Amino acid sequence: MDSTIAILLMQDGITTGAIYALLALALVLVFSVTRIIFIPQGEFVAFGALTLVAIQSGRVPATMALLLGLGAVAFFLEAAAMLRQPHRGALAKRIATAAARNIGFPLALYLLANSVALQSLPLMLQVGLALLVITPMGALLYRVAYQPLAGSSTLVLLIVSVAVHFALVGLGLVMFGAEGSRATPISDARFEFDAVQVSAQSLWVVGVAAALIGALYWYFEHTISGKALRATAVNRLGARLIGIGTHQAGRLSLTLAAALGALCGVLIAPLTTVYYESGFLIGLKGFVGAIVGGLVSYPLAAAGALLVGLLESYSSFWASALKEVIVFTLIIPVLLWRSLSSKHAEEE
């Protein structure tokens, strides 16, 4: 391996590592706030990419129908909970608010998509529309699948995550078919540094990932909702005692996770062909990075995800048939070390 190949592999590893870092941060956020090992995180990546492809093809993405269906189920669950409450003050107003939030917004998006020529929209508007479709799914999935079992053990929540993952993969096959797709790149430009060429799309991926990591740091440090999420992550019982709604924190954490996943899908869609089930493997590599951080440390999770990206890139050169084995083997010494060095405590 000469220096040129090594630099090219490093470039590829940093690009993919930036994607894995965003997914690792999302997984750490969801687990620390809700104790959910969020296996369906990868589905947001695939759905975000394929939704953008559908928009660029001029088709109304099938994920809009999924969003509307999830919204309808969430509305009926919320309405039923309101009707069971002993004090029903302003019941009609609260039901109307729930209907507008869960059904009105997805329906408005669907009508908007049917009334404009999607393929003629500027690229950034297409990206924005794809994010608007996928991001609310996080909160709706929490309301439908996780909130009724929010007080259950981590094992029960893991089983629910597995079920949600398989349901979304099956729906992905129905919505998008078995064929893969690739989106239009943000930029086709290439920059040459000595003998190494760097694509503008790779720079976009790394730049957006770095900006989002900075934005997340600012959000958790300087906003009320971000501090509420941090408080819930540190001590759920204490957060409840001081008036922080843990259900609201759960919905917000999954909303942020869905947004990060969808954005990752939008960023990788021009770089690789995405299939309906592609998100699982991508999300699993982000999970390896999150495990390096112990599912609690954001900086260590990001660093671990970058290590996963570099390891995958160099492994594809030295032993391409074994690159997945090499990447996932990384998790074994990390788990052993954490198991031997950490104190075991009873679950809350």
Would you say residue 325 lies in a domain?
no
- Phi-psi map region of 250: left, alpha, beta (phi>0 left; psi -120 to 50 alpha): alpha
CA-nearest of 78, 19, 5 to 306 is 19
Would you say residue 299 lies in a domain?
no
> How high is the pLDDT of residue 344?
54
- 118: which DSSP letter? G
- Domain of 239 in residue numbering reads as 40-279
Dist CA 137 CA 157 (whole Å) = 18
> How high is the pLDDT of residue 342?
65
Q: How far is CA 136 from CA 67, 308, 313, 347, in A?
A: 8, 29, 33, 30
Would you say residue 5 lies in a domain?
no
> How high is the pLDDT of residue 320?
74
Chain Cα centroid distance, residue 113: 23
Structure tokens at 240: 């409840």
Would you say residue 148 lies in a domain?
yes
> How high is the pLDDT of residue 89?
64
Domain total in the chain: 1
Would you say residue 122 lies in a domain?
yes
> How high is the pLDDT of residue 293?
76
Beta bridge partners of 64: none
**The pairing of beta strand 196-199 with beta strand 190-193:** antiparallel
In contact, 295 and 79? CB cutoff 8 Å? no
In contact, 77 and 144? CB cutoff 8 Å? yes
> How high is the pLDDT of residue 52?
92
List, as one string, the DSSP characters of 119-176: GGS-HHHHHHHHHHHHHHHHHHHIIIIIGGGTTS-HHHHHHHHHHHHHHHHHHHHHHH
What residues of the chain score a pLDDT lower than 70? 1, 86-89, 194-195, 342-348
Dist CA 20 CA 305 (whole Å) = 5
DSSP H helical ranges for 35-148: 41-56, 63-84, 91-99, 105-115, 123-141
Sign of the C-alpha dihedral, residues 49, 55, 61, 63?
positive
Dist CA 315 CA 327 (whole Å) = 8
> How high is the pLDDT of residue 88?
61
Q: How far is CA 144 from CA 109, 151, 164, in A?
A: 21, 14, 10
Residue type, position 32, single letter: S
Beta bridge partners of 315: none
Rounded to 5°, the CA angle 310-19-264 comes to 160
Would you say residue 306 lies in a domain?
no
Q: How many CA atoms lie within 13 A of 215 on its CB side?
A: 9
In contact, 292 and 301? CB cutoff 8 Å? yes
Dist CA 168 CA 281 (whole Å) = 14
> How high is the pLDDT of residue 173?
93
Would you say residue 55 lies in a domain?
yes
Dist CA 279 CA 265 (whole Å) = 8
3-state DSSP call for residue 243?
coil
Would you say residue 288 lies in a domain?
no
